[in-house]
Structure 1
Amino acid sequence: MDQKRKSPTLRRRRLSRTLRALREGSGKTLHEAAAEAGTTASKLSRMENTGVQRPSPGDVARLADVYGVGTDTRELLMELVRDSGTRGWWDGRPGPRDHALLPDLEAEAAALRVHAPHRVPDLFQTPRYAEAVLEARPGGTGPEAAGLMEAHGLRRQLLNEIRPPRVTAVVDEAVLHRRVGGPEVMREQLEHLGHLAVRHNVTVRVLPLGAPGHPAQEGPFTLLEFPEADDDAVVHVGTVSASLYLEEERDVAAHRAVFTVLEAAALSGEESAARVAEAVDHWTPARAG
């Protein structure tokens, strides 16, 4: 029987980050918060360390009292601790909508493998391209949309960190020719994509239109891998209104195998750069029409 230790579930990771953020927001040290909650600083540290120790409902309730959280935050904490042993879930189901989860996972990841069949990957998007994508969605305007745009901009800064993750993206060639926001926006976006592709931590591979059928035609996904050997990989699959996070080993292995097939079918790095450059030329005002 396989005795490999399972990494913390996504709920437990989220719970740990939330507990740490609440303590820091309260201005309390580990020792102060632990003493007030009737526990030890070492135990509290383990609770905050991406789920090394799974807290009990009583632990969380006492910490919620110490931090003086509101009703909504308390309910979120208690739901997370109740579900913290379960792996994988829809964040669009009834309950807390964990919008910050994917950016949090991206920030922790050592490597991301992205399959982008419909549009430029989120982390590679220019502000104008991202805005055009958002505006095309139902409810893509208004105050909530402005907040999403701000969050999207912060998320893209991940590639500018001192130690950014390694990002490998397989982009369908149709993405280079699918009009989003008009010719000027497309040209700017594809020029940006070309500039990103020369970074040491970014690889962009184009899946040509003439490539044979492949096992990932159903939709986009991101495979996130983490620096700690015991911290299992996660697959994010997005839909219009929700996100599915897959943590089971068989699901991760299946998506990893699919990505290997996609890379084999994609153009080389040099050929991909040439194809992107051709698309930039296509979207010049004189030719885009």
Structure 2
Amino acid sequence: MRQTGSPTVRRRRLASELRRLRDRAQLTLEEVAEQLTWSATKVSRIETCRVGVALKDVGRLLDLYEIDDSKREELIDLARDSRKKGWWQAYSDLSSEYTTYIGLEAESTSMRSFASVVLPGLLQTEDYARAVIRSALLISSPGEIERRVEVRMARQKLLVQEEPLRLWTVLDEAVIRRPIGGGAVMRSQLKRLLDVANLPNITVQVLPFAIGIHPGTNGAFEILEFPGLADPDVVFMENFTGSLYIERETDVYRYTLIFDHLRAKALDPDDSRRLMTKAIAQFD
């Protein structure tokens, strides 16, 4: 059975529901804050999922919005679930941005990913991951780097659980050509990539240099899809200063079209495997 119930997704859904109920009650942030003797900032942070919300605060909001008993019970249960801890929260040194991403990833049923520089974390070997993490955490201790590697490997269980994550990834050819960690690490990584590309829930395509310029030159991104209709798709992007989550329907649709364009331009899975096999020889 697929492991579900990510508290991150529950918090996101709860925040969305509370925002919708306030709109239905035709109250502004300031009006809610005044009636509950809170700050408008507190109400905003709850509705944007920037902070967790106590059960008593959820109850006060539902009283204010005059929610009936059946809906109230549903939302209180949702709030209770949102306060549970995921396995990743045992790693206290992880940033809140990273734990938010892991929580969303843990609940997603499918992911469409474009990688322009390095492989997606879900497909990395330990040695490849260690080289990537070490390059990003220049002043971190060896212990911190190893904990990050451990977390990355734990995330990969999503691909082999009973109801596994469906992953469709398009890799710029630079990803399979760039020497990361040395020749032996790259050979092992590309062999691992060929192995996972044969799994029924994973599709790997390579976007060859020969196609020239393409929409993905703006950077890597992922589109995460969730099982419930109440949890719309999210686009995730990362840069040096933080993470960006795109949730507006029109923007998510735009990234969906970009991904469709990229996979249409990429080599088909069989030709992609042949190119990856040839790339292994580069690192002999």
TM-score by length of 1: 0.68
Q: 3-state SS of the aligned residue for 1:223? A: strand
**Counterpart position of 1:44:** 76
Q: 3-state SS of the aligned residue for 1:134? A: helix
Whether the 8 Å CA contact 1:14–1:101 is kept in 2: the answer is no
Whether the 8 Å CA contact 2:109–2:165 is kept in 1: the answer is yes
CA–CA distance in structure 2, aligned partners of residues 252 and 164 of structure 1: 23
Change in 2 beyond 3 A, CA 1:109/1:13: farther
What percent of counterpart residues are identical?
32
**Counterpart position of 2:59:** none
**Counterpart position of 2:200:** 200
**Counterpart position of 1:100:** 99
Change in 2 beyond 3 A, CA 1:259/1:209: same
Whether 1:136 and 2:135 are equivalent positions in the alignment is yes
| Cα distance per residue 1:119-170 (max 9 Å; x no partner) | 1111000000000111112235433222212211211222121111110000
Q: 3-state SS of the aligned residue for 2:180? A: coil
CA–CA distance in structure 1, aligned partners of residues 237 and 147 of structure 2: 22
TM-score by length of 2: 0.69
Whether the 8 Å CA contact 2:14–2:78 is kept in 1: the answer is no
**Counterpart position of 2:119:** 120
CA–CA distance in structure 1, aligned partners of residues 218 and 140 of structure 2: 24
Displacement over 4 Å in runs of 4+? 6-14, 40-43
Q: 3-state SS of the aligned residue for 1:98? A: helix
Whether the 8 Å CA contact 1:118–1:175 is kept in 2: the answer is yes
Q: Hey, which of these two has a bigger chunk of helix by percent?
A: 2
Change in 2 beyond 3 A, CA 1:13/1:274: farther
Whether the 8 Å CA contact 1:8–1:231 is kept in 2: the answer is no
**Counterpart position of 2:149:** 149
CA–CA distance in structure 1, aligned partners of residues 260 and 160 of structure 2: 27
CA–CA distance in structure 1, aligned partners of residues 97 and 118 of structure 2: 23
Whether the 8 Å CA contact 2:130–2:146 is kept in 1: the answer is no
Q: 3-state SS of the aligned residue for 1:119? A: coil
Whether the 8 Å CA contact 1:207–1:266 is kept in 2: the answer is yes
Structure 1: gaps (5+ residues): 1-5, 20-39, 51-59, 61-95, 285-289
CA–CA distance in structure 2, aligned partners of residues 226 and 107 of structure 1: 10
Code of the aligned partner of 1:48: R
Residues 3-152 of structure 1 mapped to structure 2, 5 A cutoff: 12=49, 15=52, 44-49=76-81, 97-137=96-136, 138-152=138-152
CA–CA distance in structure 2, aligned partners of residues 222 and 48 of structure 1: 29
Whether the 8 Å CA contact 2:211–2:265 is kept in 1: the answer is yes
CA–CA distance in structure 2, aligned partners of residues 280 and 190 of structure 1: 6
Q: 3-state SS of the aligned residue for 2:118? A: coil
Pairwise CA distance, 1:282: 2.1
CA–CA distance in structure 1, aligned partners of residues 236 and 51 of structure 2: 15
Pairwise CA distance, 1:9: 5.2
Change in 2 beyond 3 A, CA 1:47/1:193: same
| Cα distance per residue 1:60-82 (max 9 Å; x no partner) | 9xxxxxxxxxxxxxxxxxxxxxx
**Counterpart position of 1:36:** none
Code of the aligned partner of 2:104: L
Whether the 8 Å CA contact 1:122–1:130 is kept in 2: the answer is yes
Code of the aligned partner of 1:133: V
